[in-house]
Amino acid sequence: MKGHIYTPWLTAFTSRKLLVVFLLPLLLVACRDDDELPDEPVINEISYDMASDDLKVRFTDGDGDFGLTDDMIDPPFQALNKDSTSNFFHYNLHVEPFIKQGGEFIPASTNPLALGYRYRIPDLTPQGQNKQLRVLVTVDFSEGIKEVRSLFAPDSASAATHTDTIQFKVTLVDRALNVSQPAYTQPKVFGPS
C-alpha cells in the first residue's frame, strides 16, 4: 500500500489495547460478588426419577442458612408443638404426594401429616465470606414410594378412583423459618409394582 508504514509494535500495541478494552468488562464481571439471591430458599428445579426412586431438588439460598444439625431440637425446631401436633419447622424438606382424579391433582390424603414425607437436611452453610448456596439435594425416596404405590393397589381405598398418575409437591424451610414457594414434579404414570 502506498503511503502506509507498517509498524508491528504499533499493531501489537493496538491489539493489546483492544484486547484490554474487551477483556476488562469480563474481568470486572468475574471478580464481582455472586448474584444477589433472596434470603429464602428458592427451588430452581425438581424431578423424580422412577427408575432410581430419587427425588432431586436444586435450589438456592441467598444467606446460606439452610440445614439443621442433630442438636437443633429446641424451639422453633422441636419435633412436637405444645398441642402434641407435629412441628412443621422440625424438618426443612417437605414432600407431599398428589394423585390425579377427574383430571385434577388432589392431595393423596385429606390429612396432610398422614401421608407426607419430611426430611432434615444437614447444615449446608458454606465456610468463608460468601454464604450463598447453590445446592442439589438427592433424596432416596424408595421407602416412601412403597407407601405411595400402595395407593394404586387394586385393594386400596383409592383404587376406585382409577388413578395411576402422581405428582409431588416440595417445600423447603431455612433456619430463619423462611419457607420457599412450593414446586411440583412433572406428573408420573405408575405401572404395576
Q: Any idea what the CATH number is for the domain that residue 152 is in?
A: 2.60.40
- Reported as a single tens digit per residue, the pLDDT across 74-86 is 999 999 999 999 9
The residue whose grid cell reads 424451639 is 75
Q: How much is the pLDDT for 24?
A: 41
Query: Residue 89 phi/psi, 5° resolution?
Result: -85, -5
Q: Locate 59 and state its grid cell.
A: 435450589
Instruction: Tell me the CA distances in angstroms from 29 to 21, 24, 62, 133, 138, one per residue in order.
Output: 14, 9, 19, 19, 31
Please, which pLDDT band fits residue 134 given cuts at 50, 70 and 90?
A: very high
Task: Provide the residue range defining the domain that includes 116.
Answer: 42-189
- Reported as a single tens digit per residue, the pLDDT across 7-40 is 444 444 444 443 444 444 444 444 445 578 999 9
Instruction: Look at residues 59, 168, 169 and name the one whose alpha carbon lies nearest to residue 67.
Output: 59
Between 154 and 6, the more confident residue is 154
169 part of a folded domain: yes
Yes or no: say if 101 and 161 are a contact pair by the CB < 8 Å rule. yes
Q: How much is the pLDDT for 191?
A: 58
138 part of a folded domain: yes
Q: Locate 55 and state its grid cell.
A: 427425588
Instruction: Look at residues 180, 151, 193, 177 and name the one whose alpha carbon lies nearest to residue 46.
Output: 180
17 part of a folded domain: no
The domain tally of the chain equals: 1
Whether the model pTM is above 0.95: no
Please, which pLDDT band fits residue 153 given cuts at 50, 70 and 90?
A: low
8 part of a folded domain: no
Q: How much is the pLDDT for 19?
A: 40
120 part of a folded domain: yes
